[in-house]
Structure 1
Amino acid sequence: MQHINYSIDTDGIAFITWDVANSSVNIMNEATFGEFSIAVDMATADDSVKGIVINSAKRDFISGGDLKWFLDYDKSKEDCFEMLMKTHHALRQLELSSKPVVAAINGLALGGGLEIALACNYRIMTDHPANRIGLVECSVGLLPGAGGTQRFLRMLGPQKAIEYITQAKKLTADQALKDQLVNQICKPEDDINALAKAWILQNPEVRQPWDDKRFVVPGTPNGIGQLSGYTEFYSVSNAMAYKTTHGNMPHIKNVLSALYHGSSTGIDNALEVEARYFVDTLFTKETKNIIRASFIFIGDAAKGKAKPKGFEHAKFKKIGVLGAGMMGAGIAYESAKAGLDVILKDVSLEGAERGKGYAATIEQQKIEKGRSTQEKATVILDHIIPSESVGDLKDCDLIIEAVFENEDLKNRVTKETEAVIRPEVVYASNTSTIPITSLAKASSKPDKFIGLHFFSPVDRMPLVEVIVGKKTSDETLAAAIDYVIKIRKVPIIVNDGRGFFTSRVFGKFVNEGITMLTEGIPPAVIENVAKKIGMPVGPLAISDEVNLKLMLDIMSEDPTLTDFEKELEKIISTIVHTHKRPGKKEGKGFYDYPKGAKKHLWKEWSTIYSTVEDYDEEEIGRRLLFAMVIDAYKCLDSGVLKEAKDADIGSILGLGFPIHTGGVMSYIDYIGAQKFKDYAAVLAKKYGERFQLPESLLQRIEKAGTNRMFYKN
C-alpha cells in the first residue's frame, strides 16, 4: 500500500499508520481511505490481532478530507452516497469488531481525521500548544460526512454538537479531555504508541456506548427527538441559523437537519441520514464556491503562490512604521507578533507611545479572555520601540509609511526617511487611494517603492493589497509578498490605479446605498437587505464608519469621477455640511450614536427624502451586488487585476462580499451569466450607464454560453 503502513507487533497489536505519499500531511480521499479500509479489513479479520492502534507517521494525525478532490468531484449523487456508505461501513467495522481500537492523535486531527478517531474506542492526544482536534467542515461550506455529526451528537448532546460543528471549533488537548472527546492526554516526549498499546492490553473487551440498546442521546428525552421540548430546541436553532445566514448557507441548515433526524434513530440509520445530507450539501453551488474561494484561492494566496519566480526569500529583522495612528499601530503590532523588531515612529514620542499602547490594549483583552498570557504579551510588546527620531530608522530592513492620507505629507515623509535608510531597503506606503506611481515620484528609488494597503482593524483583517507602481521592480514585489506572508496575512497583487481594487469597488456599494436613500427607499430596508444578501454590514453603517467627510475629501481629489458620482458628491456634501451628519466619529451620520445607548438610524431621513412604499427587495440587493461586480470586472479588464481569483479573494476578505457566491467574479456564474446580462440590462435602463456591461464582458458571456465563465468547477 502507498499511503497506509500496516504491521503487527509480537503482542498481537496491529498498527495502522497513516503516511500519505508525496504529501506533507495526511488527507482523506478515495485512494487513501480505500487503503485504510483494506487495513481495517485485515486487522479485524485476523484472529491473531488483539487490538488496533491507528496513528500517523507525519507531524499531524490526519488533517481532514481532500478538498480539491471534493471540488473536482464529477461523479453522480448516487455514486457519492455509495462512497459515503462504504466509509461508514469501514468505520462501523472498527466499532463492531470487539477488538479494542485506539487513536494515537499527534498534531492536528481535523474533519475526517477526527471522525476516524471518534470511531475508535479510546483516544489519546499529545498535549502541545499547536495541537487541535475539531470537525471543521462548516468552515469550507461542508458538513461532516464520516459520522462526525452523529458521534458528536451522542458524545456531547445536541447543544454542544451544534455549537462545535457549525462554528468549526478547534479544541486543545485540555478542552477535548474536558468534553471527553479524548480519553487521555500525554506529554510530547511520551511514547503515545506505547500508551495506546498498554490500554488495549488492559481493556480486551470493548463496546461503543451507542451500540448499547439502552443508550440515550444526551439531552434528549428517552432518546426520541420528537418529544416535547426537543423539537422546540431545534426550531429555535433553525431560526437562529437563518437569522445569521439568511438561508444563504445550505450546509448550516443541513447540519441541523442531520442532527435532528439522526437523534431519533439508531446509529446505523443515523449515519445514512448524515450521508444523504452530505451529498445534498456537496452538490450545491454554494459549497463549491466556498471550497474554491476559501480553501484553494485564499489558501494558495496565503502561501505566497503569487510571488514572482526566481527571487530568494527576503528576510526581515527590523522594520520601520511611520505614523502611530490606528493603522500604523496595527501594522506594528502584527509585525511584532511575527517576531520582528519595529521602530514605531510618530511626530512625537508621546504619539508613538500611544501607538504601542494600542498593541498593549489588544494583548490585555486577549489575556482577559484566556487567549494569551502576560509573558507572551511582554515578548510581543518588547519588539515595539516607540520613536520620534527619523535617525532610528537607519538599520531597518523595510519601511511602511502609514501617515495621514495626504499626498504632500506622504511625499515629505518619503524624502525625510530615504535620507537615512540604506539604498536597498524597500519603501512601502499604506495609502488606500493615492496612486503608488504618483507617490513614487517623491522617491529617489521608485523601483524600491510599493504599496501595502492594510485594512482596519489590522489585527483582524487578513487581506493586504500589494500595489505595484509603474517602476516597481519584481524583486521589490517579491520581497513585499515575503513580508506579508511573514506576518500571516493574505496578499493579492494589484496594479496601480486610483482606489486600487478594494477601495474603488467598495465605493460602488456605498454609493448605491446612499443613492437608494435619496430615492426614498427606507434606510432600514437598505441596511437589512444588504445583510440578507450576505454583506456583513449595510452601506449606510459602513459610510458612517469610514466617515462621510473623509469620503468627500477623497472624491474631491479624484479627477475620474463620472457624472453619477459628481451628483453623489453634491448629495454627500449636503448631508455633511447642511444636515451636519459626517459620521460615527462625530456621533451623527446616517445613524445616531447616543452615548451609552445602541445606535439607531436617524429618524429624520423620511422628511428629507420622501419615502416610497413601492420597492423591490430583490432589486435592492441586486443593485448593491451588481454595482460591485461590474466595477470589479472593469478592474480585471483594464489590468488593475491580473486574475479573476484575485478579485474573488479581495472581495471576500477585503469587502465582506458574500462567500457563498464565491466572490465578485464567481457571482456572475453563481446566478448564471445570461441571467446576469439580462438583469444588468434592466438595471441600466432604469438607473443609468453604471449598470451597463462592458463590451468585453458581453462577448465573454456570449462565448461562454451555458458554461462557467471563469472557473471549471
Structure 2
Amino acid sequence: MEHIKYNIDPQGIATIIWDVAGSPVNIMNAHTMAEFFSVMDQALGDAAVKGIVVGSAKSDFIAGGDLKWFLNYDQSKADCFEMLMDTHKAMRRMETGGKPIVAAMNGLALGGGVEIALACHHRIMTDHPKNKMGLVECSIGLFPGAGGTQRFLRMIGVQKSIQYITQSKKLTAQQALKDGLIDAVCAPDEDIIAKAKNWILAQTEAVVQPWDVKRYQIPGTPVGVGQVSGITEFYSVSNAMAYKNTHGNMLHIKNVLSALYHGAGCAIDNALELEARYFVDTLFTKETKNIIRSSFIFIGDAAKGKGKPKGFEKAEYRKVGVLGAGMMGAGIAYVSAKAGLEVVLKDTALENAEKGKGYSQMIEAKKLEKKRTTPEKMEALLGNIQPTDKVADLADCDLIIEAVFENEKLKNTVTQETEAVIGKEVIYASNTSTIPITTLAKASSKPDKYIGLHFFSPVDKMPLVEIIVGEQTSDATLAAAIDYVIKIRKVPIVVKDGRGFFTSRVFGKFVNEGISMLSEGIPPAVIENVAKKIGMPVGPLAISDEVNLKLMLDIMGEDPNLTAHEKQLEKTIAKIVSHYGRTGKKEGQGFYEYPKGGKKYLWPQWAEIFPRVSDYDEAEIGHRLLFAMVIDAYKCLDSGVLQAPKDADVGSILGLGFPIHTGGVMGYVDYIGGEAFAATAHDLALKHGERFDLPESLKERIKSAGEARVFYKN
C-alpha cells in the first residue's frame, strides 16, 4: 500500500495508519480512500483481528477531501452518486462489522477526516490548543458528503448540527468531548495509539453504533405528535435565516439544511442516501466550483507566498517601524506584534503613539474577556510595541511601513526624515491607497528599496495586503515584502504601479455607480439592498460614507485622467458636499444619518434632491454594480497592473468583498458565460455610456472561447 500502513500486533489489534505519500497532510481522494477501505475490509474479515485502530503517521489526523480532485472531477453525476454510495456502504461495514474500531485523532481532523472518525465506535483526541475537529466543508462551497450530516445529527441533535456544519465550526478536544463528538482526550505526551488499544482490550460486549439500536431517537427530538411542530418551526427559521444571509446565492447551505431535515425522518441508511443525492447536486454547481477554485486554491496559493520571485532566501524580520499611529498604523502595529515582531510605533506626539498602542490593548482585552487569550500572551504582545515620537528610535528597524495621512508632501517629508536614521538595506514601504509608488519613491534615496504595502481596514480583520511594485522596485525588495506579509499571516497579491493600483481603483467603480444611480433617481434603499442581494457585503452608499465624500473629491481632483462620466460624478459629489454639507459617517451625515446612540438610516431628503423614478430594473442595477468592477478589473489585467486573472479574483474577494460564489471579478465572466456577459455589457453601454464598453482584447477572448469558459477550465 502506498498511502495506508497496516499492522497486527501480538494481541490481535490491527492498526490502520494514514500516511499519504507526497503530501504534508493526509487527504482523501479516489486512491487513498480505495486503499483505506481495502485494508479496513481485510481487517474486518480477519478472524485473528480483535479490534482496529485508525491513526495517522503525520502530525495531524486527516485533513479531509482533496479539493483539487473535487474541482477537476470529470465523471457524471451518476458515477459520483455511485462513488458516494460505495463510500457509505464501506463505512457502514465499519460500523456493523462487529469489531471495535477506535479513531486515534492525534492532531487536526477536518471534513472527511471527521467523518471517518464518526464511523468508528470510539474517538480519542489529543488535547492540544492547536488541535481542532470539525465539518468545515461549507466554508468552501460544499457540505459533508461521507455521512457527516447524518452522524452529527444523531450525535448532537438538530440545532448544534445546523450551527456547527453551516458555520464550519472547529472544536477543541474539550469542546468536542463536552458535546459528545469524541469519547476521550489524550495528553500531548501520551501514546494515543496505546490508549486506543487499551480501550479495545477493555471491551466485553459487542460494539454497536447508537443509531443502530432499535427505537433510537435523535437528541432533542420531542416526544409526542403535539411537540413535533417545534422542530419543524426551527428548520423553517433556519432556512429563512440562511436565505437572509446568502440571498439564495449559496446552494450548498440550502442543500445541507435539506439533507438534515429529510434525513432526520429516516433510518440511517436511507438518510445517507439522501445526503449523497444532495451532495452530488451541490458538487456539480458552478457556484461550488467557483468557491473551491478561488477560496481554496487561489487564495491558498497566495497565502503560501507562491507569487514570490524565485531565487531569493526567506527574509527574516526582528523589528518593524510603523510611521503614523492612526487607525491604519495602529492596526499594522498590532498584526506585526501579534506575529512576534518588535514594533516601534511612531507619531508626531508621544500621546498619539500611546493611543495607537491602546488599539492593540483594546483588541486583546476583548479577546481576554472571551478567553481567547491569556494575560501572559496579552502582556507579551503589548510588550512588543514601543510608542515613540522620536525618529531616532527607528534606527535599528529592519523594515519601515509608513501609514501617515494620504498627502504626498507629508509622505515625502516623512520618507526623508526616516531614511536619515535607518540602514541602507532597510526596505521602506508605504501604505498609500491611491498615490503611485513610483511618484512617492522620488523622495527616497534608494527607490529600489521602496515598495507599497496597502493594508485594508480594519487591519486585524482584513486578510489582504496589496503589494505595489514601483518602476525601480527590485525583485529582492518584492520577495522580502512577500515574506513579511506571510509572516504576519496575511494574503499578498502583487500589483504594478498606477493611480488607485487595483483594489482602490476597481472598488471606486462600484461606489461611483451607486452614486450615479442615486443621481438618476433610483431610490437609495433599492441600490443598497440590491448590492447585498447580489452578494456584496455592504452597499455603495454606505461605503461612500465610510470613505468620506470630501476625501473622494480630493482624490478625484488629483486625477488628470477622469472620464466624462467621472467628471459629471465629481460635480454631483461636490454638490452634495458643498450645498448640503453631507460628507460621511465621521461627521454624522452622509448618504445615511448617524444619530448618536441610534441606528443609522438613509437620509430621507434624497428624494427631493434627486426626484425618484419608478421604472428601474433591479437586475440591471445589480449588473451595473458588478460589471463596472469586472470591466475595470480586466483593464487592470490587460494593461499589466495585474499579472494573472487569479490575482484579480483573490484581490476582489478578500479586498472588495466581491461575491465569492461567482469566483471573483474574472471568474464572474465565466460564471454568467462569456457571450452573455458581452451581450449584457453591450446593452449597458448603449443605455448608460462607454464605461460599459468592453476592451477589444476581452471581446476577442470571449469570441475565441465560444461556449467554453473564458478564463478558467474548471
TM-score, normalisation: structure 2: 0.99
**Contact 1:153/1:263 (8 A) holds in 2:** yes
Is 1:483 the counterpart of 2:484? The answer is yes
What residue is the counterpart of 2:543 in the other structure?
Answer: 542
> Deviations 1:479-531 (Å, cap 9, x if unpaired)?
00000000000000000000000000000000000010011111000000000
What residue is the counterpart of 1:151 in the other structure?
Answer: 151
What residue is the counterpart of 2:160 in the other structure?
Answer: 160
Mapped partners of 1:447, 1:225: distance in 2: 75
* Paired letter, 1:12: G
> Deviations 1:424-444 (Å, cap 9, x if unpaired)?
111000000000000000001
Mapped partners of 1:669, 1:109: distance in 2: 34
What residue is the counterpart of 1:297 in the other structure?
Answer: 298
Cα displacement (A) at 1:420: 0.7
What residue is the counterpart of 2:676 in the other structure?
Answer: 675
* Paired letter, 2:35: E
**Contact 1:223/1:264 (8 A) holds in 2:** no
* Paired letter, 1:404: F
Cα displacement (A) at 1:231: 2.1
Cα displacement (A) at 1:217: 1.1
* Paired letter, 2:585: K
Mapped partners of 1:216, 1:605: distance in 2: 57
Mapped partners of 2:320, 2:228: distance in 1: 63
* Paired letter, 1:191: D
* Paired letter, 1:400: I
What residue is the counterpart of 2:194 in the other structure?
Answer: 194
Cα displacement (A) at 1:558: 1.0
Mapped partners of 1:222, 1:91: distance in 2: 30
**Contact 1:226/1:264 (8 A) holds in 2:** no
Cα displacement (A) at 1:224: 9.1
**Contact 1:323/1:403 (8 A) holds in 2:** yes
Cα displacement (A) at 1:56: 0.3
What residue is the counterpart of 2:512 in the other structure?
Answer: 511
* Paired letter, 2:411: K
Give the direction of change, closer, same or farther, for the CA distance of 1:499–1:228 in structure 2 (3 Å limit). same
What residue is the counterpart of 2:136 in the other structure?
Answer: 136
> Deviations 1:14-59 (Å, cap 9, x if unpaired)?
1010000011100000000100000110111011111110000000
Give the direction of change, closer, same or farther, for the CA distance of 1:241–1:225 in structure 2 (3 Å limit). farther
Mapped partners of 2:288, 2:225: distance in 1: 31
* Paired letter, 1:544: D
Write the mapping of 1:268-347 to structure 2, written as runs, cut at 5 A.
268-347=269-348
Farther off after superposition, 254-263 or 569-578: 569-578
Mapped partners of 1:693, 1:225: distance in 2: 61
What residue is the counterpart of 2:219 in the other structure?
Answer: 218
> Deviations 1:305-352 (Å, cap 9, x if unpaired)?
000000010000011000000000100100001100001010011111
* Paired letter, 2:432: T
What residue is the counterpart of 2:203 in the other structure?
Answer: 203
What residue is the counterpart of 1:68 in the other structure?
Answer: 68
What residue is the counterpart of 2:586 in the other structure?
Answer: 585
What residue is the counterpart of 1:529 in the other structure?
Answer: 530
Mapped partners of 1:185, 1:660: distance in 2: 38
* Paired letter, 1:472: T
**Contact 1:102/1:124 (8 A) holds in 2:** yes
**Contact 1:53/1:197 (8 A) holds in 2:** yes
Farther off after superposition, 402-411 or 374-383: 374-383
Give the direction of change, closer, same or farther, for the CA distance of 1:222–1:35 in structure 2 (3 Å limit). farther
* Paired letter, 2:713: K
What residue is the counterpart of 1:352 in the other structure?
Answer: 353
Write the mapping of 1:603-642 to structure 2, written as runs, cut at 5 A.
603-642=604-643
Mapped partners of 1:14, 1:373: distance in 2: 41
Is 1:690 the counterpart of 2:691? The answer is yes
Cα displacement (A) at 1:645: 0.2
* Paired letter, 2:450: F
Give the direction of change, closer, same or farther, for the CA distance of 1:334–1:224 in structure 2 (3 Å limit). farther
Mapped partners of 1:287, 1:328: distance in 2: 37
Q: 5+ residue gaps in structure 1?
A: none
Mapped partners of 2:667, 2:270: distance in 1: 37
Cα displacement (A) at 1:367: 1.0
Cα displacement (A) at 1:559: 1.1
* Paired letter, 2:512: N
* Paired letter, 2:237: V
Cα displacement (A) at 1:230: 2.3
Mapped partners of 1:469, 1:289: distance in 2: 32
Mapped partners of 1:106, 1:621: distance in 2: 48
**Contact 1:647/1:665 (8 A) holds in 2:** yes
What secondary structure, in the 3-state scheme, does the structure 2 residue paired with 1:453 have? Answer: strand
**Contact 1:224/1:265 (8 A) holds in 2:** no
Q: 5+ residue gaps in structure 2?
A: none
Mapped partners of 2:39, 2:246: distance in 1: 41
Mapped partners of 1:54, 1:370: distance in 2: 33
Mapped partners of 1:221, 1:261: distance in 2: 16
Farther off after superposition, 84-93 or 649-658: 84-93
Farther off after superposition, 545-554 or 619-628: 545-554
Farther off after superposition, 374-383 or 453-462: 374-383
Mapped partners of 1:426, 1:223: distance in 2: 71
Give the direction of change, closer, same or farther, for the CA distance of 1:76–1:416 in structure 2 (3 Å limit). same
* Paired letter, 2:495: V
What residue is the counterpart of 1:176 in the other structure?
Answer: 176
> Deviations 1:190-222 (Å, cap 9, x if unpaired)?
111111111111124211000012101122235
Give the direction of change, closer, same or farther, for the CA distance of 1:440–1:707 in structure 2 (3 Å limit). same
Cα displacement (A) at 1:116: 0.3
Write the mapping of 1:237-248 to structure 2, written as runs, cut at 5 A.
237-248=238-249
What residue is the counterpart of 1:395 in the other structure?
Answer: 396
What secondary structure, in the 3-state scheme, does the structure 2 residue paired with 1:566 have? Answer: helix
> Deviations 1:399-452 (Å, cap 9, x if unpaired)?
000000000000000001111111111100000000000000000100000000
Cα displacement (A) at 1:371: 1.2
Cα displacement (A) at 1:169: 0.3
What secondary structure, in the 3-state scheme, does the structure 2 residue paired with 1:494 have? Answer: strand
Mapped partners of 1:283, 1:509: distance in 2: 31
Give the direction of change, closer, same or farther, for the CA distance of 1:122–1:94 in structure 2 (3 Å limit). same
What secondary structure, in the 3-state scheme, does the structure 2 residue paired with 1:228 have? Answer: helix
What secondary structure, in the 3-state scheme, does the structure 1 residue paired with 2:65 have? Answer: coil
What residue is the counterpart of 1:85 in the other structure?
Answer: 85
The RMSD of aligned alpha carbons is 1.0
Cα displacement (A) at 1:613: 1.2
Mapped partners of 2:432, 2:13: distance in 1: 62
Cα displacement (A) at 1:227: 4.0
Mapped partners of 2:225, 2:540: distance in 1: 46
* Paired letter, 1:99: K
What residue is the counterpart of 1:708 in the other structure?
Answer: 709
Mapped partners of 2:430, 2:227: distance in 1: 60
**Contact 1:224/1:264 (8 A) holds in 2:** no
What secondary structure, in the 3-state scheme, does the structure 2 residue paired with 1:413 have? Answer: helix
What residue is the counterpart of 2:52 in the other structure?
Answer: 52
Cα displacement (A) at 1:370: 1.8
Mapped partners of 2:421, 2:532: distance in 1: 49
Q: Which runs of 4+ in 1 moved over 6 A?
A: 223-226
Mapped partners of 2:665, 2:371: distance in 1: 37
**Contact 1:481/1:491 (8 A) holds in 2:** yes
Cα displacement (A) at 1:226: 11
Cα displacement (A) at 1:89: 1.0
Q: Percent identity?
A: 74
Is 1:431 the counterpart of 2:412? The answer is no
TM-score, normalisation: structure 1: 0.99
Is 1:446 the counterpart of 2:451? The answer is no
What secondary structure, in the 3-state scheme, does the structure 1 residue paired with 2:452 have? Answer: strand
Mapped partners of 1:224, 1:480: distance in 2: 64
What residue is the counterpart of 2:104 in the other structure?
Answer: 104
**Contact 1:217/1:223 (8 A) holds in 2:** no
Mapped partners of 2:465, 2:560: distance in 1: 26
Mapped partners of 1:107, 1:494: distance in 2: 37
**Contact 1:285/1:670 (8 A) holds in 2:** yes
**Contact 1:225/1:264 (8 A) holds in 2:** no
